[in-house]
């Protein structure tokens, strides 16, 4: 078995494809032993890749854009969350986005990821950052849920199925972001260009398992329920609700591919928000290397 280190954020439902690839033996079919490390900080996942501690990661897609601008060599080689699975969940006393004036919103990072999305969503409702509300970097979905329950934040994005768990407990959904921004490459599969070039065979074998895992996800609701329950601790009811959302709205790409349209949407939004004008003029495909995905796909029926 050839060994690979893979890093991802927390125990989010986002990670289902790699959990499937491990639990259903798809990595083993390719002669791979993949050590999956779950990390609570989104920035730390990118640091693991940059420092070579992980060879492949599920990371914030915006981090690849920022890395390129700084002269780095990270590439998006596959998709993950190509459409937004979130609800903007608030304390029960907050009924509208306008009620967030003067409040604190929890985000994964102030540098990338959910902060760009929050700024754009609230701007469309007439609130501007930082004049009208505060953002606090509190970590990914599970950490935001803890902060929301403790009252440390007033609102935050919650992904399926935590959004449904929150609403069933009396918290309020202020909006469904994917109804406002249909395509948005929130997270994706990343590799360092030089490492991937030097280990082409390993990457293609990983990608074959990765593609098969996405197909398996779409075709196996019951199997996904079992894996989600074991990996995240959620009930069968909420595991099924998450699967229904992901499949109905195409949140995971069926064949594990990154989306040019979704990445371009992210670039446009984050470029406007972070006042880096040249980013809008840069093609999304400049950040995506589909060679390994294409070669892997060609070897599958």
Predicted pLDDT of residue 281: 47
| Whole-structure pTM value | 0.92
Which has the closest alpha carbon to 44: 111, 114, 104?
111
> Distance between CA 47 and CA 179 in Å, rounded?
32
**Please, what CATH class does the domain formed by 2-82+184-298 belong to?**
alpha beta
pLDDT digits (tens, 9 = 90+) for 81-97: 999 999 999 999 999 99
Burial annotation 218-257 (CB, 10 A radius, 16+ → b, else e): beeeeebbebbeebbebeeebbbbbbebbbebebbbebbb
- pLDDT band, very low/low/confident/very high, at 273 (cuts 50, 70, 90): low
pLDDT digits (tens, 9 = 90+) for 18-50: 999 999 999 999 999 999 999 988 889 999 999
Predicted pLDDT of residue 141: 82
Predicted pLDDT of residue 280: 47
Q: What value does the mean pLDDT of the chain take?
A: 92
Give 99 or 268, the one with higher predicted confidence.
Answer: 99
Domain ranges, ordered by start, for the chain? 2-82+184-298, 86-180
> Distance between CA 136 and CA 138 in Å, rounded?
6
Domain spanning 86-180 has what CATH number?
3.40.190.10
pLDDT digits (tens, 9 = 90+) for 201-256: 999 999 999 999 999 999 999 999 999 999 999 999 999 999 999 999 999 999 99
pLDDT digits (tens, 9 = 90+) for 111-163: 766 788 899 899 989 999 999 999 999 888 888 999 999 999 999 999 999 99
Predicted pLDDT of residue 34: 98
Query: Are 2-82+184-298 and 86-180 the same fold in CATH?
Result: yes
Predicted pLDDT of residue 110: 81
pLDDT digits (tens, 9 = 90+) for 274-289: 655 455 446 899 999 9
């Amino acid at each position: 078995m050839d060994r690979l280190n893979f890093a991802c954020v927390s125990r989010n439902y986002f990670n289902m494809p790699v959990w499937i690839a491990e639990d259903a033996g798809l990595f083993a079919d390719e002669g791979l032993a993949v050590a999956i490390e779950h990390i609570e900080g989104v920035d730390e996942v990118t640091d693991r890749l940059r420092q070579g501690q992980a060879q492949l990661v599920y990371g914030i897609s915006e981090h690849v854009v920022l890395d390129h601008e700084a002269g780095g060599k990270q590439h998006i080689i596959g998709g993950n969350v190509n459409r937004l699975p979130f609800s903007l969940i608030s304390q029960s006393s907050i009924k509208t986005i306008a009620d967030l004036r003067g409040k604190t919103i929890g985000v994964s990072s102030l540098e990338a990821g959910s902060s760009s999305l929050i700024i754009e969503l609230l701007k469309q409702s007439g609130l501007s950052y930082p004049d009208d509300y505060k953002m606090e970097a509190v970590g990914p979905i599970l950490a935001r849920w803890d902060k929301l329950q403790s009252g440390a934040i007033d609102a935050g994005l919650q992904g399926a199925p935590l959004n449904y768990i929150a609403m069933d407990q009396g918290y309020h959904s202020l909006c469904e972001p994917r109804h406002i921004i249909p395509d948005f490459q929130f997270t994706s599969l990343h590799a360092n260009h030089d490492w991937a070039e030097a280990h082409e065979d390993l990457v293609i074998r990983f990608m074959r398992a990765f593609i098969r895992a996405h197909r398996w996800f779409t075709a196996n609701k019951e199997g996904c329920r079992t894996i989600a329950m074991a990996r995240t601790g959620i009930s069968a009811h909420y595991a099924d609700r998450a699967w229904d959302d992901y499949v109905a709205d195409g949140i995971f790409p069926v064949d594990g591919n990154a989306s040019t349209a979704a990445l371009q949407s992210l670039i446009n939004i984050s470029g406007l928000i972070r006042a880096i004008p040249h980013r809008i003029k840069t093609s999304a495909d400049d950040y995506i290397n589909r060679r390994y995905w294409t070669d892997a796909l060609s070897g599958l029926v």
